[in-house]
Amino acid sequence: MKTTAMHNRHLLALPAGRRWVRSGLYLPLFSGLCALLLGSCKDTKEGTVSFPTTQVPDGYRLEKVVDGLNFPTSLAWDAQGKLHVVEAGGGFLPEPQPARILRVGSGKLTEVVNLTAKGVVAPVVGLAFHNGAFYISHRSADLMGAVSRVSADGGSVNQILGGFLDSQAEHPLNDLRMGPDGRMYLATGPAANSAVPGMDLAPFISRSPNLRTTSAQDLVLTGRNFKVADFRTKDNLTDSVMTGAYVPFGVATTPGQRIAGTNKPGGAIVSFDPMNAEATLQTHASGMRNVIGLTWDATGQMYTAVNGYDVRGPRPVKDEYDATYKVVKGTWYGFPDFSAALEPLTMDKFNPPASLQATAFINNVSQGKKLGFVINHAASGLTPPDRALVAGLHPFHSSPSMIDVAPASWGAFAGHLFVAEWGDLTPPTDPTDLRPVGYRIVRINPATKQVEPFLANRQPGPASKQGPVGAGLERPFDVQFGPDGAMYIVDYGVVKINPARKDNNREPYEYVPGTGVIWKVTKR
């Protein structure tokens, strides 16, 4: 195991205590000095830390548990209550920094296992601890989605589940949680923005030419295809190709074409017995876009947070929201033909500008540039999703990610949902609206379904755009309540838009190592 010193949690002591800090006369100067020099300040009287970029709700205390992490994604506590964090090893594609499980405590970070060195392919997103072992969601050598069991000491890593085809594209396997029924639940992202791969997936298609969106159900298609540039023929930039839904790039579909369902679908929640995963795998719910986080309330009701559509690819969608859903077993949630609010995408309001859409064809007859269904719902035995399943609507592109339910110790907020909004990736995901959204923790009262900010920066956007890196929330991805009743937040760190990376067959995002943080929120 490798041990590194934990970064200082408290950076600057104040000689006069909290009351002096709170005085209106000195607060602006004090906050500016802290932000300029260090990005955070210690209050010696109460042992808390203020981060001037972030607004902390009255009655709560925010502190930094550890920083300097490389792309952290998830937390888990072992049988002794020791905190662990997993570093993803990359974003949509692997980065030079390895995927690792680290133990946090006693003033130091201890490497439990270098997952990359054990053959695990990034990104590693989900982390759970069950019956003396860790479980992780990741890619395997064939770039498909997989789940592995990791011994508590990191000595062994054994794949127990694999073959999730959609993970060869931009959306990997995500959260991994033990359910109240003793089964393990897994969130699976779908390939492509809205089931039709295009030039936006070029880095992934070049690595996995047969990647495609999969479904839990047998589907009958409408035969809607899209005429797009064929980026595979680099020597002829004018080449075009017809491409359809639920098939590899460059393959056209026909009306009535059948697509076989699979027990390893994208855009779904699946469950299994971790001691016999392949034989017990079942689909719990399906037809979601990029489903990320999973949780249950005290009654056993399941909820999930889902990243919504983007304005990209051959079939861009100008949605209004991202969503958190109440999960009902056996339910289809409408992807890729219904919005985050579970409305049909054939409504005019979901059409982006025509300049961003590819012309649609059915049987080589132009359908114009407008959204239409790619699934024949009646022939597929699918009914429109029930809008009552929406538990909360988030701003479009805010990227609701991991989710948890507040314990009884949180008083009036007990039973409320808390969701980490990772934030937008515009303009690559939407050139029509560049306003920053997300970058915060929100609260949802299940009774009202209203999404309310709980912990957010003073200005929209990540902390690094408002002051020093680490002075506030950057890209919160995981939120969990620990055994001590405190809220823990995994902050992924700085992500920059860098179109030049596409020249190296990469996604247009740059991930800055060493900027990840674990935050802790407690009641005063």
pLDDT tens, position by position, 215-225:
999 999 999 99
- 176 close to 101: Cβ distance less than 8 angstroms: no
Q: Amino acid identity, residue 121? A: V
Q: In this predicted model, what pLDDT tens digit does every residue of 235-282 receive, in sequence order? A: 777 899 999 999 999 999 999 999 999 999 999 999 999 999 999 999
Q: Are residues 34 and 134 in the same domain?
A: no
Asked whether the bond before 427 is cis by omega within 30 degrees of 0, the reply is yes
Q: Are residues 60 and 46 in the same domain?
A: no
CA distance between the termini of the chain = 36
Q: Are residues 16 and 85 in the same domain?
A: no
**What are 87's strand-pairing partners?**
72, 100
Unique residue bearing structure tokens 């309001």: 349
- Distance between CA atoms of residues 110 and 118, nearest Å: 17
pLDDT at 45: 35
**Average pLDDT over the chain, rounded to an integer:** 91
Q: Are residues 277 and 328 in the same domain?
A: yes
Q: In this predicted model, what pLDDT tens digit does every residue of 6-48 receive, in sequence order? A: 333 333 222 222 222 223 333 333 334 343 333 444 433 333 4
**DSSP helix/strand/coil, 116:** helix
- The range of the structural domain enclosing residue 303 comes to 53-523
**What are 365's strand-pairing partners?**
362
Q: Amino acid identity, residue 393? A: L
Q: Are residues 132 and 34 in the same domain?
A: no
For the chain, what is the domain count?
2
pLDDT at 49: 59
Neighbour tally for 61: CB within 10 Å: 18
> Where in 47-99 does DSSP place strands (E)?
48-50, 54-55, 60-69, 72-77, 83-87
- 51 close to 40: Cβ distance less than 8 angstroms: yes
C-alpha 243: how far from chain center: 27
DSSP H helices in 304-434? 377-380
pTM: 0.91
**What are 294's strand-pairing partners?**
304
Q: Amino acid identity, residue 60? A: Y
Helix (H) or strand (E) holding 206: helix 202-207
- For range 120-141, the mean pLDDT: 99
- Distance between CA atoms of residues 21 and 26, nearest Å: 7
- Distance between CA atoms of residues 199 and 192, nearest Å: 10
Q: Are residues 388 and 486 in the same domain?
A: yes
Q: Are residues 362 and 463 in the same domain?
A: yes
- Distance between CA atoms of residues 487 and 67, nearest Å: 16
Q: In this predicted model, what pLDDT tens digit does every residue of 294-344 receive, in sequence order? A: 999 999 999 999 999 999 999 999 999 999 999 999 999 999 999 999 999
pLDDT at 238: 80
Q: Are residues 10 and 118 in the same domain?
A: no
- 12 close to 34: Cβ distance less than 8 angstroms: yes
Residue finishing a domain among 27, 52, 77: 52
